[in-house]
Structure 1
Amino acid sequence: MEMSGEAMVAVKKPQDHPQMETSKIGVLLVNLGTPDGTDKTSMRRYLREFLSDKRVIEWPRAIWLPVLYGIVLNTRPKKSGALYDKIWNRERNESPLRTYTRAQGEKLAVTLAEYPQVVVDWGMRYGQPSIEQALERLDKAGCKRILMFPLYPQYSATTTATVNDKFFEALIKMRYMPATRTVPSYQDEAVYIDALAISIEKHYATLDFEPELLIASYHGIPQSYFKRGDPYPCHCWETTRLLRERLGWAEDKLITCFQSRFGPEEWMQPYTDKTLEKLAKDGVKSVAVFNPGFVSDCLETLEEIAGEGEEIFHKHGGVNFTHVPCLNDSDEGMQVIEQLVRRELQGWV
């Protein structure tokens, strides 16, 4: 059947279309976030984004927002800025979390260099560089498949889920949306447990005293979150149990505690600070603390534990205190990230 000239539509031949780049694969590492500076303005901007997250603070907005804008954001930025200033990486003028996350991304890119189609990038859930900015870079690099890795060993709606939220929110804005995968929590992965054990053994070898016990201090969540189904505390207990078995230690030599509580609610217990105080009062003279729920050292590990935690222990009679660094970009830490990424890339590379 013939068509009139008015009805005919010119159809471009394949050679008329611009040549598309060979599809690449992006690997996106994502951690919690960081302020851009320790000044009040930077801290307020960061805390506003963080504490406005409905996954982090589950109170009704009508109750929480007046508290956030009327009290918290007028008082906490200055205090938090002073704490960040104690641990700030002055050479790079950034927080340690940003320094370590960048290093993890750079080292992962080197270990995956055998795959020229893989592009590694990194971003933050709160602050800069944002997840959206990282996705834009990967898109410009021609990545049509993306593996996103929330850098949290234990799953929580307050961490892993909100990173996933922001990741998919950013994808919604893309015209050509890539195929995606996300790395699941890895609280019981052998490579992770081994890395923790090795890091502890290496650190203990540098000490001139023998810790009587080791506290595994995880970031806490309100008990109400756990009661509503958040599996995070169970994941924490599982990590501690497996690590205890890996080290061959008795139950009282490696214990689980929770830190960083905020607000009037009851949080998961026992609390790390209260435990350090009680241990010292009970006559324990030497302790070690580490943070298996944190992939990289940050404010909560360097200031709250290595700083405040040591002060609490000494104040109440303790003598020897040591903080075991996070895995950071150590060989053991990078082995965890690399092995999980390689596993999740199967079928794509």
Structure 2
Amino acid sequence: MLDAKSTAARPGHAPSDHPNVTTPKIGVLVANLGTPDNYDYWSMRRYLGEFLSDRRVIDYSPWLWQPLLQLVILSKRPFTSGEAYKSIWNHAAGESPLMTITKAQTAALAVSMQDRYGDQVIVDYCMRYGNPSTRSKVRAMVEAGCRKILFFPLYPQYAGATSATANDAFFAALAQEKWQPTVRTVDPYFQHPLYIEALAQSIETAYAKLERKPDILCCSYHGVPERYLREGDPYHCQCQKTTRLLRERLGWDESQIKTTFQSKFGPEEWLKPYTVEEVARLASEDGKKSIAICAPAFSADCIETLEEINEEIRESFEHAGGEQFTYIPCLNDDPAHIRALSAVIEENLAGWLE
């Protein structure tokens, strides 16, 4: 998606055999988690192998973890994960919804940057796992003449297993460059006013379409081991603050909104309450027969929202006696979300462009 015009020419003072030099540009590289190339066994195995081998994601000793991963988990999980991906796959485009949405976000951001800066800025996207790789997109940006690159992991809240590993891949890609560009990475934007506004608008829009107002809204964030909080990861605190700021913007009291965490993996305790258990408790013990769920930690709908929330967690709620389950989609390429992301980009380009 390197759509800015690039020109290359030999510097006027250089000898005739000097290679052409491209006109300097600024690159904005947005990054998301990643997606398998397909939902067949081998595509899923490659993707899950890369994802679950990341020490930022699973920090157990490789001597213990890798035999379990390679011999047990990757023998079985690609089948179940593949079926889950198949149920939400964008068959028309031959790609996952996350890929489709990330492309749409990037295209919208490119238009926004074009309107603001003309041809000075190139916008593209990469994935931490799978394709297109961070390495390939850094290389393409350098070849297109980007002497400065702003790297933007699309995670509102910082976590070592998301933002940090995305940055790791970016820095590793830079290590392969002969002439490294000047770079910046974007801070988490969990409390940015336009991000909170976009979240609030999405909830107000969804509620306005319902005949019955939900008894409670669960803000379901992707979970991490509870141990990470004790080790200094700020993710839990940033999730709680996002929920609080959202509640204040909506003008609600604390009984109308709740923070929960999903996608628990492995034997140890993760951040609680677990969404899948909490929705059942809300229905069976608290008598909440109508609930809504949003996913503020996800910038785009993906397997964790379209399959886990809208299928597994919905089933848990309904099995416990719940009657009305409303999933509020991620912000995706909604104009309010693009305005928020554009504002974050512009703030981080300060000093590089007028």
Q: Does 1:347 align with 2:351?
A: yes
2:253 and 2:323 map into 1 onto residues whose CA distance is 23
1:102 and 1:161 map into 2 onto residues whose CA distance is 22
1:208 and 1:178 map into 2 onto residues whose CA distance is 54
Q: Does 1:309 align with 2:290?
A: no
- The gaps in structure 2 that reach 5 residues or longer are 1-11
2:277 and 2:315 map into 1 onto residues whose CA distance is 12
1:222 and 1:35 map into 2 onto residues whose CA distance is 24
How far is the alpha carbon of 1:62 from its aligned partner? 1.1
In the alignment, what sits opposite 1:6?
none
In the alignment, what sits opposite 2:297?
293
Across the aligned residues of Structure 1 and Structure 2, the Cα RMSD in angstroms comes to 1.1
1:342 and 1:215 map into 2 onto residues whose CA distance is 31
How far is the alpha carbon of 1:207 from its aligned partner? 1.1
How far does the alpha carbon of each residue in 1:275-323 deviate from its partner, in whole angstroms, 9 at most, with x for none? 0111111221100000000000000001110111111111111101100
In the alignment, what sits opposite 2:249?
246
Q: Which amino acid aligns with 2:113?
A: L
What aligned pairs does 1:1-349 form with structure 2 within 5 A after superposition?
Answer: 14-16=14-16, 17-114=18-115, 115=117, 116-282=119-285, 283-349=287-353
1:70 and 1:224 map into 2 onto residues whose CA distance is 27
Sequence identity percentage? 50
Q: Which amino acid aligns with 2:102?
A: T
- Match of 1:124, SS? strand
How far does the alpha carbon of each residue in 1:231-276 deviate from its partner, in whole angstroms, 9 at most, with x for none? 1000100100111111111111110000000010100000001001
Structure 1's consecutive aligned runs of 4 or more residues displaced over 3 angstroms after TM superposition are none
1:325 and 1:157 map into 2 onto residues whose CA distance is 25
2:307 and 2:13 map into 1 onto residues whose CA distance is 63
Q: Which amino acid aligns with 2:344?
A: L
- The gaps in structure 1 that reach 5 residues or longer are 1-11
1:332 and 1:326 map into 2 onto residues whose CA distance is 12
Q: TM-score, normalised by structure 2?
A: 0.94
How far is the alpha carbon of 1:42 from its aligned partner? 0.3
Q: Which amino acid aligns with 1:45?
A: R
1:30 and 1:322 map into 2 onto residues whose CA distance is 28
1:70 and 1:18 map into 2 onto residues whose CA distance is 50
Structure of larger gyration radius: 1
In the alignment, what sits opposite 1:3?
none
Aligned residues: 338
